[in-house]
Chains A and B, each alone.
Chain A
């Protein structure tokens, strides 16, 4: 096997994994602390992409647009929490799944009405549009490196936030014992709204980062939400560390599967059959992994200690 290609594909896998982590981290925060299943998390990802795309044409610069779009997605998340989500906290997970499923339909259709069905292509500044030669023969798009850098920075930031700040302390306390946090006199409603908005920002950021690659498009949230769920289930609901590791594993499996599975299949079946079955089987691998993990560890790889 070509080691250069293997290296590049590993990098691609890590990049995909970090994007997944951004989506999954918000999901696991909301899930772990608020005990809330948010299927509509993917819609926030789509909103981030569309808002950043629109702002790119207003400001003329993608990076400035991103910085402006972050508070916008936070605000959208905050409003959704105040109006709809809040009433669902006390319901069982099933009601939450159904309610947020309805929310997906509403947000997707609204996006269609506002931005049209075509989607928006997002231009990058020239310095991001090029490639970097890491070492001889390994040339990667600059923008993909930016995604990796952003993903790692956010991961470090979240690690700091959860482990070393007062908010983080509350978050950890809230995840394991909600009544105690309220007993301490903390405005739990405000804390919940903040956490939800933070989750929205993380999802929105992922959407913004992906927009210059895939364009902002209707329905993009539905494609990623299920994978993000798989990530947090594998990692253990509420565990940031689990989400990070699981996201990287899933990203690598998906990318390496797409890269090398067809060659592997050609050893045992016809070229034609291998070409068409490999993509589906590589998509299946992720779910097989999840089932395996749950079969042996029914609460995921890193379940939070007290639930």
Chain B
């Protein structure tokens, strides 16, 4: 399959497979695999958003799961109040309202924390993003009304025009469409002048600053866009699982998202999607064989980090992209 050596072809093949396979699996009576694909595609949206800052912007956020959590609770909390009363202002079943809330609050959270995080560099950045995520984690743990540690069951899915989220296939198609849009957004951004500055700042910040660009503002903007997209993914995830808990924003979840991006290939269009796909499929396959699946999974992780440079995209297209210090 020498044609796959072109990244564009690879992108089309993967996206086509994701468009065709899950509905076929559903019609052949494999409802569970549609579920798997839905989770995969939703996490891929989050991974694509992380790729914007991690891959293209060099900002390794170790707290990206916080946005997913915020997005999910932005669905769960309005539903909760619309069902059980109190806080009339945010009580609603409307999906448009919930999604606006998810995106808005995620963006706001990204703006506030980003202003502080982006003052730091390297490992300090990794750790301070993790610290803010942990704060949100413990905030929701402490909110007894929404179940605290035990989580919250979403009784009613978001009500949206045209789509019925109670239908697994429609939910999948919405998630898939959203993924395509997310990929297009990131692609457009990275090919614009804005994206050039962002990538330039990753390579050599001083030089871009000397050219007269306020790189801090550029990076903050990218951080906010990325956070908002992950918040949207969270809203979808809440609707998909109909159960949300602080666990969704734990640091291991953020680590998994980073892994998906690196595994697939950072700073490529299809990389994060491919990474999520392989991650979810392998997790599913390994865990169905043995409860000790973390062992082969961990070994695989180490091997990939040690030997596969440039992620799966690099491996498949034969790219020799190296990531040094």
Q: Do chains A and B touch in the complex (CB under 8 A)?
A: yes
A residues with a Cβ closer than 8 A to B are 31, 37, 84, 87-88, 90-95, 97-99, 101-106, 108-110, 112-113, 222, 226, 229-230, 233, 237, 272-273, 276-281, 283-284, 287-288, 290-291, 294-295, 298-300
A230, B262: Cβ atoms under 8 Å? no
A298, B305: Cβ atoms under 8 Å? no
* Binary per-residue interface labels of chain B (235-258) against chain A in the complex, 1 for a CB within 8 Å, 0 otherwise: 000000000000000011001001
A233, B138: Cβ atoms under 8 Å? no
A280, B142: Cβ atoms under 8 Å? yes
Contact of A90 among B141, B292, B297, B324 (CB under 8 A): B324
Known A287-B134, A294-B124; judge A98-B258 contact (CB<8 A). Answer: yes
B298, A106: Cβ atoms under 8 Å? yes
Residues of B within 8 A of A106 (CB): 294-295, 298-299, 302
Measured CB to CB, the nearest residue on chain A to B293 is: A109
Known A233-B124, A284-B138; judge A291-B302 contact (CB<8 A). Answer: no
User: Would you call B196 an interface residue if the criterion is a C-beta within 8 Å of the partner chain's C-beta atoms?
Assistant: no
Contact of B142 among A101, A281, A298 (CB under 8 A): A281
Q: Whole-angstrom distance between the alpha carbons of A38 and B141 in the complex?
A: 28
User: Would you call B281 an interface residue if the criterion is a C-beta within 8 Å of the partner chain's C-beta atoms?
Assistant: no
Chief secondary structure at chain B's binding surface: helix
Residues of B within 8 A of A102 (CB): 297-302, 305
* Binary per-residue interface labels of chain B (99-134) against chain A in the complex, 1 for a CB within 8 Å, 0 otherwise: 000000000000000001001111110111011101
User: Would you call B144 an interface residue if the criterion is a C-beta within 8 Å of the partner chain's C-beta atoms?
Assistant: yes
**Which 3 A-B pairs rank lowest in CB-CB distance, beginning with the nearest?**
A105-B298, A102-B301, A280-B142
Known A284-B135, A284-B138, A294-B119; judge A229-B127 contact (CB<8 A). Answer: yes
User: Would you call B53 an interface residue if the criterion is a C-beta within 8 Å of the partner chain's C-beta atoms?
Assistant: no
Interface residues on B, range: 35 or more
Measured CB to CB, the nearest residue on chain A to B116 is: A295
Q: Which of B304-319 contact A (CB under 8 A)?
A: 305-306
A97, B255: Cβ atoms under 8 Å? yes
Known A95-B305, A102-B305, A113-B292; judge A276-B142 contact (CB<8 A). Answer: yes
Residues of B within 8 A of A112 (CB): 292
- Determine how close the nearest CB of chain A comes to the CB of B111; give it in whole angstroms: 15
A88, A278, A283: most-surrounded residue (chain B CB, <10 A): A283
A97, B258: Cβ atoms under 8 Å? yes
Contact of B138 among A31, A273, A283 (CB under 8 A): A283
Residues of A within 8 A of B297 (CB): 102, 105
User: Would you call B73 an interface residue if the criterion is a C-beta within 8 Å of the partner chain's C-beta atoms?
Assistant: no
B128, A294: Cβ atoms under 8 Å? yes
Contact of B148 among A31, A97, A280 (CB under 8 A): A280
Residues of B within 8 A of A278 (CB): 142
A287, B262: Cβ atoms under 8 Å? no
B60, A94: Cβ atoms under 8 Å? yes
B143, A277: Cβ atoms under 8 Å? yes
Residues of B within 8 A of A281 (CB): 138, 142
A98, B142: Cβ atoms under 8 Å? no
B144, A294: Cβ atoms under 8 Å? no
Residues of A within 8 A of B305 (CB): 88, 91, 95, 98-99, 102
Q: Whole-angstrom distance between the alpha carbons of A98 and B255 in the complex?
A: 8
* A/B interface sample: 24 pairs, CB < 8 A: A31-B123, A92-B323, A93-B122, A94-B126, A95-B323, A102-B299, A102-B300, A106-B298, A108-B294, A109-B294, A230-B127, A230-B131, A233-B123, A233-B127, A233-B128, A237-B124, A273-B144, A280-B141, A283-B141, A284-B134, A284-B139, A284-B142, A291-B135, A294-B116
